[in-house]
Amino acid sequence: MLSLLSYGEVLVDFLPTSSSPSTYMPLAGGAPANVAVAFAKLGATSYFAGGISEDSFGQMLIKQLDHEGVNTTFVKRVKDANTALVLVSLDDSGERTFNFYRHNTADTKYGKTQVDEINWQGIGIFHYCSNTLTEEIMYEDTLYALKSAKENQALISFDVNLRQQLWHGVTLLPERVEACIKLSDIIKLSREEAEYLAQAKQVDVNSYINHILSLGAKLIVITDGENAAQAITTDDSITINVPKISPIDTTGAGDSFISGFLFHLVQSAKSDESPQGLFDAIKQIDRVKTAVSFGAKCGAFTCQKKGAFTALPKITDLNFL
């Protein structure tokens, strides 16, 4: 079975406790790390590629990744930088706001040298998000990683996952996202992100989606909270209903969704041990539809528990949805 390599940040989420909204508990998180963990918890092989500090939080993070079954061979341990921290606030519906503490932290110290050390054998999917695009050096390193993944025939999955608070020059955001779309195969967006990027380009959402397809994206998946998800290719556009739940905490829900989606794709192509089977799978709209439905079940499960790693499902957890 082909494996997944998730590239980017792992950090510490400080979430409010149930007993007091002004008391916080530190939990391992970070979108790319969440995806690696979710993929492993579902029963497949995943790797995490990113920088992790040698401070006390970094020790916690590496232990958590190992505990959840993520292969950390391609992690870079960083002595001279702290762990990135995020203060998460939740509203009554479980939706989040973030305060980031991420300046010269360990996750920003992963670059071309580390990418060159990756062994791509057996890696079918390269997954990443936009938080490694926020600074010029990180952006160039991400492009380098994407080109390396493409040279090694991996399917490239881009969860745009915008966190505008991390951008010092937010005007650069649309062009950097588009540069990465050109090198990616699957693009995952929330409806809100699609509207933001469309507005930045001064077009409507449908025109922006067509623009993404013109850049070379093979499949676009758009989530919209409790509303139906969309899957769009140059030939098809379908909507897929999602489970109806009462969310407690939406932290990690999008990461759970995309990892479930990718896991299902890998399973559906497991008779083909080359990445080509994945490229074939995303051309078949019925297979895409069932993969989106599976991903939606994963996301719904995660919304009903607090935290990120701890809220990501195992296969057996999904029998109740």
Instruction: Give SS3 for 48.
Output: strand
Q: What per-residue confidence (pLDDT) applies to 152? A: 97
Contacts of 18 (CB under 8 A, 6+ apart): 306
- What pTM did the predictor assign? 0.95
Per-residue pLDDT tens for 97-132? 778 899 999 999 999 999 999 999 999 999 999 999
pLDDT > 70: what percent of the chain? Answer: 96
pLDDT at 94 over 80: no
Identity of the amino acid at 152:
N
Distance CA 233, CA 222 (A): 12
List phi, psi (to 5°) of 126.
-110, 120
pLDDT at 35 over 90: yes
Local confidence band at 275 (pLDDT 50, 70, 90 cut-offs): confident
- The DSSP secondary-structure symbol of 269 reads T
Local confidence band at 177 (pLDDT 50, 70, 90 cut-offs): very high
Per-residue pLDDT tens for 132-159? 999 999 999 999 999 999 999 999 999 9
Distance CA 261, CA 156 (A): 13
Local confidence band at 15 (pLDDT 50, 70, 90 cut-offs): confident
Q: What per-residue confidence (pLDDT) applies to 141? A: 98
Alpha helices in 73-190 (DSSP H): 112-116, 136-151, 173-181
Q: What per-residue confidence (pLDDT) applies to 16? A: 80
Instruction: Give SS3 for 151.
Output: helix
pLDDT at 93 over 70: no
Local confidence band at 42 (pLDDT 50, 70, 90 cut-offs): very high
- The token duo for 39 is 């993929």
Q: What per-residue confidence (pLDDT) applies to 320? A: 65
Distance CA 80, CA 251 (A): 29
Per-residue pLDDT tens for 220-258? 999 999 999 999 999 999 999 999 998 888 888 999 999
pLDDT at 92 over 90: no
pLDDT > 90: what percent of the chain? Answer: 80
Q: What per-residue confidence (pLDDT) applies to 20? A: 63
Q: What per-residue confidence (pLDDT) applies to 306? A: 77
Contacts of 90 (CB under 8 A, 6+ apart): 15, 16, 21, 96, 249
Residue identified by tokens 């530190």 is 26
Task: List own/partner pairs for 161-165 with CB under 8 A and 24 or more apart.
Answer: 161/31, 161/129, 161/130, 161/131, 161/188, 161/193, 161/254, 162/130, 162/193, 162/196, 163/98, 163/100, 163/130, 163/131, 165/98, 165/99, 165/100
Domain span at residue 79 reads 3-320
Instruction: Tell which wins on pLDDT, 300 or 319.
Output: 300
Summarize the confidence of residues 21-49 as an average pLDDT.
Answer: 93
Q: What per-residue confidence (pLDDT) applies to 272? A: 65
- Structural domains counted in the chain: 1
> Strand pairing of 11-16 and 24-29?
antiparallel
Distance CA 29, CA 64 (A): 10
What CATH number does residue 128 fall under? 3.40.1190.20
Residues facing residue 159 across a β-bridge: 129, 188
Mean per-residue pLDDT over the chain, rounded: 93
pLDDT at 178 over 90: yes
Distance CA 171, CA 58 (A): 32
Summarize the confidence of residues 293-301 as an average pLDDT.
Answer: 96
Per-residue pLDDT tens for 60-83? 999 999 999 999 999 999 999 999
Q: What per-residue confidence (pLDDT) applies to 172? A: 95
